[in-house]
């Protein structure tokens, strides 16, 4: 579970967000603050509330990734870090329903992550690092600074 891993790394004041009640119940066992919210609109969170936003294998499921990225930017402090892990390249047609955001994000374009990186840069972020691995599947790990 992501929250437990962040706690093991020494992070404190963690807030987890999920819309799924079962996942929330599991996350609450970590002792962290967990809230039920849709990632597309999180009015429960204050503007500039966080130093870091971490999103792993969630954004590709967004029906409107631009709204989610706008929320990430809103809740991040200026200069805050956005850590994103996404399946890349995501070219399979079989997962189009589950990964409905992949086309808007550019995850289906095999170009060394240029298109997906540009997507965030056009929305107020500056790329700090980009890595590829196959931890769960072929993935891209991106770190951005909020401008």
Q: Please report, in tens digits, the pLDDT of each residue of the chain (147 residues total).
A: 589 889 999 999 999 999 999 999 999 999 999 999 999 999 999 999 999 999 999 999 999 999 999 999 999 999 999 999 999 999 999 999 999 999 999 999 999 999 999 999 999 999 999 999 998 899 999 999 999
Measured over the CA atoms of residue 29, residue 60, residue 78 and residue 19, the dihedral's sign is negative
Element holding 132 (H helix, E strand): strand 125-133
- The pLDDT of residue 88 is 98
Q: In what order do the strands lie in the sheet with 125-133?
A: 50-56, 76-87, 139-146, 125-133
CATH architecture of the domain 42-146 equals 3-Layer(aba) Sandwich (3.40)
CB 34 within 8 A of CB 28: yes
pTM: 0.94
The secondary element (H helix, E strand) that includes residue 96 is none
Give the Cα separation of 91 and 75 in Å (integer): 31
Report domain extents, the chain: 1-36, 42-146
């Amino acid at each position: 579970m992501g929250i437990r891993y962040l706690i093991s790394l020494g992070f404190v004041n963690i807030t987890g967000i999920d819309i799924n009640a079962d996942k929330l119940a599991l996350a609450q066992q970590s002792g962290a603050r967990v809230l039920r919210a849709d990632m597309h609109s999180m009015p429960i969170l204050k503007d500039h509330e966080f130093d870091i936003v971490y999103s792993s294998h969630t954004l590709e499921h967004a029906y409107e990734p631009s709204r989610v990225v706008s929320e990430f930017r809103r809740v991040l402090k200026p200069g805050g870090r956005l850590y994103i892990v996404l399946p890349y390249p995501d070219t399979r047609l079989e997962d189009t329903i589950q990964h409905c955001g992949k086309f808007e994000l550019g995850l289906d374009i095999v170009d060394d992550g240029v298109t997906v990186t540009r997507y965030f840069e056009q929305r107020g972020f500056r790329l700090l690092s980009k890595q590829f691995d196959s931890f769960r599947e072929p993935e891209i790990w991106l770190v951005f600074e909020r401008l």
